[in-house]
Amino acid sequence: MAGTVEIYDTTLRDGTQQEGISVSIDDKLAIVARLDDLGVDYIEGGFAGANPKDDEFFQRARSLHLKNSTLTAFGSTRRAGGNVEDDGAINALLAAETPIVTIVGKASAWQVRNVLGTSVEENLHMVADSVSHLVARGRRAVFDAEHFFDGYKLDPGYALQTLRVAAEAGAETVVLCDTNGGSLPDEASRIVTAAHEFTAPLGVQLGIHAHNDTDTAVAVSIAAWQAGAVHIQGCFNGYGERTGNANLTSIIANLKLKLGVDAISDEQLAALTDTSVFIAETLNMPPHAFQPYVGASAFAHKGGLHAAAVNKLRESYEHVSPGTVGNRNSVVVSELSGRGNVVRRIRDLGLEEEITDEDVREIVRLLKEQESRGFSYEGAGASFELLIRRHLPNFEAPFELVDFMVLIENRRTARATNADQPGGILSEATVKVRVGEDILHTAAEGNGPVNALDHAMRKALLQSYPELECVRLTDYKVRVVAEGTGTGAVVRVVIESSDGRDTWNTVGSSENILEASWLALADSMEYWLVCRR
């Protein structure tokens, strides 16, 4: 087993090949800064010469002052039958002016003959010429042996020969690429062991680059490290082509917390979750809540027995302390919840001295009853907090819903008989709410029935609570949660709201989508008035 490790991040090159990811130059530079702070050893900035964006990135990156990381450029070997001196790909790597260059070349004889369309001998010359040319011009070289594992399974002698040629040409690291992602950890370990025995006398480091097509890329990478690969390539959050690359967030945490390898410092490890979320948001990708270590649900406890145990001893259902990776645990409230989940939430709110045991039992009963009616509080923490606070002895609701009515008119019909009548669909809502002793009756139009309800309710409440002006509905989701006859099914509405600083989610459920929306809207405004104002 190796004692040290090099972490090589390829999020900005291989990671951006994932469907749905598009990144600007400024985004790339921001991610480089975060990875540098985290302590990643190498950051691959892009494919030199592949597009104007990557070329401009390398130009702008020259002004970076990295503290912990070294920037690398990626490119391919010279063309088959070509001259390395005037090869466009090689010159683009030199033009990137990074101290390290990573050159990809075929390590599979089958791929060379059938895909590259050249001889196995020429492919070896392409590797040797490219590496030696770049090294002679002051670059440190990493050789990515593409399709190494598949190539080794068909012709191990040739796959190993590509490593020897690269090493003798001056490469400091040769990386075994499971390009198709089809290798399992046991066979990867066996093949890496053989490669390590072959390359050790050559004085070259061994690396691993795994894809996740069998959902074992992290396991393959760890197995490769245990077999002698000291250089591990991957992408943050497992981004990458097809099903992604080896997830560096999990690899770093496993190395540090499970295998005792100081890939990064303890302080840097505590920034792992923030870095993961920052990269996701910068790439405009939703953070994966169920990702190990850094996901929002990585240390969430829903079952009542689990939550009760965690309240006593966190390690009873947590394999590491969440804080070591900058995450935190949480108790999810649902129909599976027991008393422990509710007590934990009450404690988090600092209300344990005001809520009695009888209140807790009633809250648990009400929770299960509400969820049986289609409510769900897992993604609507604000509604659940209100459910708790309504049991406080001194709780006073800031307003009370009385009644509402929504009208929808097809004005296209009216326009057909009156040219002066505006066309389109009109939505108008009328609401009644009680504030203190007063009943406020207001009406408003909107671009849809929910929007009209929102405007009408806000119009009524602003008379007593003008500070509500800052609250805005930012997201609206509807889901059918119980089968019914056609459109008579029970629906759940979850609303996300924001005051420009905080965001919160509330829920409503009913056979009538407008009533469900009305309940969720009311919870949103009541939550802000009670808990955030």
- Of 282, 309, 340, the position where a domain reaches its end is 282
Do 274 and 362 lie in a common domain? Answer: no
**Residue at which a domain ends, from 347, 369, 391:** 369
DSSP 325-370: GT---EE--STT--HHHHHHHHHHTT-TTTS-HHHHHHHHHHHHHH
Region label for 215, one of left (φ > 0), alpha (ψ between -120 and 50) or beta (otherwise): left
In a domain, 27, yes or no: yes
Q: Is residue 144 part of a domain?
A: yes
The reply to whether 239 and 106 lie within a common domain is: yes
Cα 114 from Cα 178, distance rounded (Å):
18
Q: What is the CATH number of the domain that holds 114?
A: 3.20.20.70
Domain end residue (candidates: 350, 369, 388): 369
Task: Determine the Cα–Cα distance for residues 499 and 509; give it in Å rounded to an integer.
Answer: 24
The two three-digit tokens of residue 523, written as one number? 């919870």
Q: Are residues 328 and 252 in the same domain?
A: no
Query: What DSSP element (H or E) covers 301?
Result: strand 300-301
Total structural domains in the chain?
2
- Strand 438-446: give its sheet, edge to edge: 400-410, 425-435, 438-446
What does the DSSP 8-state code read for residue 3? S
Domain region containing 322? 300-369
Residue 418 lies in a domain: no
d(CA 531, CA 375) in angstroms, rounded, equals: 21
482 in any annotated domain: no
* Local confidence pLDDT in tens for the 533 residues of the chain: 445 899 999 999 999 989 888 888 989 999 999 999 999 999 999 999 888 889 999 999 999 999 999 999 999 999 999 999 999 999 999 999 999 999 999 999 999 999 999 999 999 999 999 999 999 999 999 999 999 999 999 999 999 999 999 999 999 999 999 999 999 999 999 999 999 999 999 999 999 999 999 999 999 999 999 999 999 999 999 999 999 999 999 999 999 999 999 999 999 999 898 899 888 878 878 778 789 888 877 776 665 555 555 555 555 556 687 888 887 666 555 544 556 667 777 777 788 777 888 888 888 888 778 877 778 776 678 888 888 888 888 888 999 999 999 998 876 654 444 455 455 788 899 999 999 999 999 999 988 888 899 999 999 999 999 999 999 888 888 888 765 555 567 888 888 888 888 888 899 998 888 999 999 999 999 999 988 76
Residues 334 and 222 in one domain: no
The pTM assigned to this predicted structure is 0.69
Domain shared by 278 and 304, yes or no: no
DSSP 26-76: HHHHHHHHHHHHHT-SEEEEEETTT-HHHHHHHHHHTT---SS-EEEEEEE
Tokens in use for 86?
């005037």
Question: Got the DSSP string for 188-217?
Answer: HHHHHHHHHHHHGGGT-EEEEEEB-TTS-H
Same domain, 315 and 258: no
CA gap 82, 271 in Å, rounded: 47
In this structure, are 175 and 205 located in the same domain? yes
Tell me, yes or no, whether 387 lies in a domain: no
Round to whole Å and give the CA distance between 372 and 70. Answer: 55
Gap between the Cα atoms of 359 and 240, Å rounded: 50
